[in-house]
Amino acid sequence: MSTQNTRVWFITGSSTGFGRILAEQLLERGEIVVATARKPEQLEDLATTYPDRVLAIRLDVTKPSEVREAVNLAIAQFGKIDVLVNNAGYGTMGAIEEVTDTEVRQQYETNVFGALDVIRAVLPQMRQQHSGHILNLSSVGGVVSFAGAGVYCSTKFALEGISEALAKEVAPLGIKVTLVEPGAFRTDFNGRSLVATENMIADYDEVIGSFREWVQDVDGKQPGDPLKAVQAMIQVVESESPPLRLPLGADSVSAIETKLESVKADVDAGREIAISTAYEGVIVGEIGG
């Protein structure tokens, strides 16, 4: 089929949550979707309903060979990728001391290295066509870190840093980058996609206990509507000047605003000490300038 006037979306983690709802919304709008998941059989209904506009591919983002193969299959089928949505990911719950080496590494393999591999696999084709948009699913936890979710938040902080630099690198090439920063949305994140460490330490119960209870209690009652979230993502892609950051949910906006005020207060409080650390007579310019 001709894809000249139809966008091709490549979505990781398409079987559930934001990825699944986004794929459904795009297909209803007439877009083309490369839907990837570790269990592609969960996408068979979409492929059956839209046989000409869905390519369902097995993809475990922690396996670089599968990443390259999935991207190559998508380009071979449709000739291009217009929008990449890095949605695959999960959360690990536990205090920093509690989370094991294996749990930390697995968290980074999916949330950071997996996303990075997909970005680097898609970029050559986007550079060639001098267009494209990359949506990286971060979190309010990519701006604000929470006790009991420090390792998870650190992966989203990493994705924020990668995306901020990437946006500056690829803007002259016609490629756009947006970080999506959801708060609490009614997906399965607090259920299937949230893993508690097996190495719990009693001394942290008082600090982490209330967070664990909140995670359980709010599951299924989150204020955010995932359908409205994916509609906002589509709107950003359709925007002439999309933002680098897209907080979603009043809780995300509030938490980020509070964090920014806190950072500003710390900078102001230490300003004199900070600027006194230069060599005498040196004129300090902006980093990277």
The residues assigned a catalytic role are 138, 152, 156
User: Residue 180: enclosing H or E segment and its boundaries?
Assistant: strand 175-182
Helix axes 150-170, 101-108, angle to 10 degrees: 30
Structure tokens that stand for 50 in this block: 């839209």
Structure tokens that stand for 86 in this block: 């890095």
d(C-alpha 271, C-alpha 20), whole Å: 47
- One DSSP character per residue, 60-72 reads -TT-HHHHHHHHH
User: Residue 208: enclosing H or E segment and its boundaries?
Assistant: helix 205-218
Nearest to 121 by CA among 245, 40, 10, 32: 10
d(C-alpha 204, C-alpha 179), whole Å: 32
How many CB atoms are closer than 10 A to CB 269? 10
For residue 137, what are the β-bridge partners? 180
Structure tokens that stand for 119 in this block: 């970005």
Length of the chain: 289
Contact 249, 223 (CB under 8 A): yes
d(C-alpha 71, C-alpha 221), whole Å: 36
d(C-alpha 212, C-alpha 200), whole Å: 12
